Structure 1
Amino acid sequence: MPIPPSIITLVLGMILVLGGLWIGQNVNLLPVDASANAPIYDELFRVLFSIGTILFLGIVGLVVFSLIRFRRRSGELSDGLAIEGNLPLEIFWTAVPAVVVLFIGLFSYDIYERMGGMAPLDHAAMDHAAMDHAAMDHASSNQGSGSEQRVWGGIGTPVLTASEQGTPVSPLPVEVTAMQFAFLFRYPKGDFISGELHVPVGQPVSLSMEAKDVIHAFWVPEFRLKQDVIPGQPTVLNFTPTRSGRYPIVCAELCGPYHGGMRSTVVVEEQDAFDNWFAQNNKITATDT
């Protein structure tokens, strides 16, 4: 007794789905995760990779099957069957993509919210975020006028960690200036500028970013974070590094002829090593504070 085509289709579909899910969950194409946000983003990537694998294998498999099964045989000169319309098939290929796209949209929103993308960007709570100090001085001399520098976008509330005493660790403020074709990092607590971003492992970091010329983008693949840096429109990016090492900072927005060379490095180091580096560069003495 021949196996009904519907049973064969069902079995092949189950194999395709299970195989795509296995590949999506077990084949890792991403660099090492080095921030608290990275595992959250990786959840979305694995889901998208699984769906993409299922679609790719299914479509390619169907095309190959059709090329073999419905090829023109030797001696055949007539046209194929005139088949017009298939309502169940049309409903299927309309409903399934609609459900998949809706699921991806809702899941992406959840991931973005968990990463802090929907958190309020309250500039008043981030005084260190001001990139134009002259403007800040002018604003402070005109308090009550209602004017306040606006933070335009970014990843909001940083993921706070707890110290050994159980108290939250406040974020390390860093002001990032992007220009053709370099990143500069200013540490307000030490009043110095560095060409590399040094941060201690396990401590939240709050970046306030602004460009001096054209639009740039601050991207660290190992952190799974990317944020536009816009002239005249401050943006923020908060993260918590979780793995020591040196990771590339890449400008991911075409910004000019030497865009490909606009790179820097984020150095994630243990607290003692960071404290030593900070002390060597610190320009604020105890008497100044």
Structure 2
Amino acid sequence: MIIRNIFVIIVSAIAITAASLWLGQQSYSWFPVQAAAESHLVDDLFSFLVVLASFIFLGVTVTLLYSIVFHRAAPSDTSDGPPIEGNIALEVVWTAIPIALVIWIATYSYQVYEQMAIRGPMEHMHFQMPKAMESAYAFPWDKKPVVEQESEVIGNGTINVIAKQWAWEFHYPYKNVSSTELHLPANQRIHLALQSEDVLHGFYVPAFRVKQDIIPKQTIDFEFTPTREGTYRLMDSQFSGTYFAAMEANVVVDSPEEYQHWLEKAANQKPAPAKNQAAEEYAANQSKPFQNGWQTVVPAAPPIVNYSG
């Protein structure tokens, strides 16, 4: 009996571990493509959490099934179970293990958060970062960051990101180019200066696994490294009002040569009002003969940009 139980435990532990590791590997496919250096950190952390959660879930489930199959009472047995009052050793074990797991998860999560350098707007901190990821930091609203000089070289300078109800506006250091579609060079460290003209917004690109809150009257210096060419979506991760769902923009990661070509092309275009879904929907609603009675904030005027996408 003891030998059988030991054998069942060993086989079950091996099977549960293998299944948990397999699920952890499958979790990488649950996200969008990894399009930034930071995405590997987030996906590795999530995979670790999936492995751990799967091991606990499967372990508990298998234990319950084993107890039901091999330790169920006989149909005619109506007696009470053994009068067990407690087991100090067992209680210590099932208390110590969760504490150790929580500390492990918290430490690993903090290390990832530290490496990604995403933090609150009032903090000004510096961490030891990998070469591909340097620390981002935030400026108080009354201490403006150093203004970048106009740059003729791609990858140099800071791209200013302005969030407002309900549009994204991007200003590049190259010849004052502006757009409502964020273009970035691949495999180069990107520096963004995030600002909000009204309420709380959130800069969030799922494919990059980066998210940073944008606080009014704050300028947040935010950095990441896109690594995969393609077109992705920028979303507002914070509810910013009526037309919040329309506050999205394309993020186009180009090769360095294509990025330079796009900047030169955009610089030759005359600034004009960009297409803005929120403003169009609001104008269409106001033109109706009968209003629904719901009040809403008037959207900001469409941005005047060189390139609207």
- 1:165-204 equivalence runs, <5 A: 171-204=156-189
Equivalent of 2:208, from 223, 230, 247?
223
Q: Which amino acid aligns with 1:271?
A: P
Shift of 1:3: 2.4
Check whether the contact 2:27–2:50 (CA below 8 A) recurs between aligned residues.
no
Check whether the contact 1:205–1:239 (CA below 8 A) recurs between aligned residues.
yes
State the distance in 2 between where 1:251 and 1:16 align.
39
Alignment match, 1:85: 86
Alignment match, 2:260: 275
State the distance in 2 between where 1:11 and 1:18 align.
11
Q: Secondary structure at the match of 1:260?
A: helix
Alignment match, 1:127: none
Flag the 1:171–1:21 CA change in 2: closer, same or farther, 3 A.
Answer: farther
Alignment match, 1:38: 39
Alignment match, 1:9: 9
Q: Which amino acid aligns with 2:228?
A: R
Alignment match, 2:124: none
State the distance in 2 between where 1:64 and 1:179 align.
55
Normalised TM-score (structure 2): 0.69
Flag the 1:226–1:5 CA change in 2: closer, same or farther, 3 A.
Answer: same
State the distance in 2 between where 1:122 and 1:261 align.
27
Give the unaligned 5+ runs of structure 2. 119-126, 128-134, 147-153, 270-309
Alignment match, 1:21: 21
Alignment match, 1:55: 56
Equivalent of 2:199, from 188, 210, 214?
214
State the distance in 1 between where 2:165 and 2:74 align.
62
State the distance in 1 between where 2:249 and 2:68 align.
50
- Tell which deviates more after alignment, 57-66 or 273-282: 57-66
Flag the 1:6–1:70 CA change in 2: closer, same or farther, 3 A.
Answer: closer
Shift of 1:7: 4.5
Q: Which amino acid aligns with 2:12?
A: L
Q: Which amino acid aligns with 1:43?
A: D
Equivalent of 2:218, from 227, 230, 233?
233
- Tell which deviates more after alignment, 271-280 or 71-80: 71-80
State the distance in 2 between where 1:260 and 1:84 align.
57
Normalised TM-score (structure 1): 0.73
Alignment match, 2:296: none
Q: How many residues align?
A: 247
| % identical equivalent positions | 34
Check whether the contact 1:244–1:267 (CA below 8 A) recurs between aligned residues.
yes
Check whether the contact 1:33–1:222 (CA below 8 A) recurs between aligned residues.
yes
Check whether the contact 1:190–1:281 (CA below 8 A) recurs between aligned residues.
no
Alignment match, 1:160: none
Q: Secondary structure at the match of 1:31?
A: coil
Give the unaligned 5+ runs of structure 1. 124-129, 136-146, 152-168, 285-289
